[in-house]
Amino acid sequence: ETTERDSLLAPKDVAAWNKRTNAFTSYLPRESIQSLAENAPANTPLHGKTIAIKDNICTSHSELPTTCASNILKGHTSPYPATVVSLLEESGAVIHAKTNMDEFGMGSHSIYSARGPTVNHVDGVEYSAGGSSGGSAVAVRDGMCYAALGTDTGGSVRLPAAYTGIVGFKPTYGLLSRWGVIPYANSLDTVGIMTKKVEDARKVFDVLNVHDPKDPTSLPPTARKPIRSEKKKTWTVGVPAEFNPEELSEPVRKAWASAIDALRSQGHTIKEVSIPAVQQAISAYYILAPAEASSNLAKFDGIRYGRRADQDSANGTLYANTKEEGWGEEVKRRVLLGTFTLSSEAIDNFFIQAQKIRRMVQDDFDKVFATKNPSRATEQGVEDGVDVLITPSSMTTAPLLSEVKKQKRLDAYVNDVLTVPASLAGLPACSVPYGKDESGMPIGLQVMGQFGEDHTVLEMAKILE
């Protein structure tokens, strides 16, 4: 257990650690951390706790630029902090570092970063940190902060949490403010919380779980569920067949089965369920997310933010030059893909179909949960429905970094097959470590709940932990 003071002063040599892991894109010197901690508001729930922030969430401290790990925002310092950052500071937390990521959140291994890949070291071997919030995951696992914020659009908090053996919680869409969070795909983007223990994730969640009038998608107070006053003793746990594809690795499948056995022997009711539309979820996600990205990223044109390329005024190519120099390959690929699927020839066959699948995924989830989905007025909860669903978070334990660098792009997309369904439906989902494989690599299980059942999900995650 690290004490508050240990974690505050980061017992290890931060520079040497960061050279090895490349997990921080920037961080404050020890003296600044100390003085921020001394001046933190007294009697606050996160007093003096260090929290690292993914580099796509705005911080206004001059030594903590916000770059989305992209050259297009190199050195960019936001004039204002994100609402989630202000809330943490008001609650006594010390924001001391920004974390490495896949550029603009696009990726699953934190290797598509203009700052170079994040490295997940385990026993002298270099593994994938998962992505896109890989820097946040490694920082939490290595004790460089009490907690870290990530963002989760299709799994970017849960996958790195599973690969590094920590807790990664993606709350219900719309609960945590996105004001000051640079959008990737705004109908899916969610701020997520990464910690070693579920209880700490809950503490941070409770601080951030407030309505923000500045974010039009922030749920108003009337749409937020009160925390259940009495705790359930036994639960109905759903096990969805579609989350057991052939490709699921054996150690992960075994861990999942043993968790289900353990829950059964503790008196919980286990129910096999089916959510058929999730089989199309990944295809729909990789249409919708790039489509939204192509629109969101249009503003990085060299005029308003960050870096500006030399203008070839004769040809009027300022925008093109800026994007050509400023974006990495994966970002360009997604923007082109999104521009295509939104074009008049393609929109009916791609974007519209994907939206339909998204609705089917939502419907299928609503058909298994005991409680009704408050975001969809017509649906009722299901009699004999389940309280939570438990699945694996990832198909395998963390792959070797050398392997993922050789992978084809589409292989990385397939990684998100277990996490994307909850994203499409906006549901709360938490990856919690559950045992290890034979070589000692951690395995993550995913708890999902009905829209707004965030505390239910965290309670079940605690039972598994």
User: Footprint of ligand GLN on this chain (CB under 6 A)?
Assistant: 105-108, 132, 151-156, 184, 289, 416
CB 8 within 8 A of CB 94: yes
Residue (of 306, 310, 309) closest to 297 by Cα position: 306
Q: How many CB atoms lie within 10 A of CB 37?
A: 20
Residues serving a catalytic function are: 54, 132, 156
CB closer to ligand GLN out of 7 and 190: 190
Judged by CB, which is closer to ligand GLN: 387, or 416? 416
Give me the residue label for tokens 């508001």.
Answer: 41
Instruction: Tell me if 397 sits within 8 A of 134, measured CB to CB.
Output: no
Q: What spatial distance separates the first Cα and last Cα of the chain, rounded to whole Å?
A: 16
Q: How far apart are CA 55 and CA 64, in angstroms?
A: 9
Q: Which residues does residue 169 pair with via DSSP β-bridges, in sequence order?
A: 193, 430
Query: Which residue do the tokens 């959510």 mark?
Result: 275
Burial tier of 171 (Cβ tally within 10 Å: 0-12, 13-18, 19+): buried
Secondary structure (H, E, C), 392-455: ECCCCCCCEHHHHHHCCHHHHHHHHHHCHHHHHHCCCEEEEEEEECCCCCEEEEEEEECCCCHH
- The secondary structure element, H or E, covering residue 259 is helix 250-265
- Separation CA 24–CA 38 (nearest Å): 23
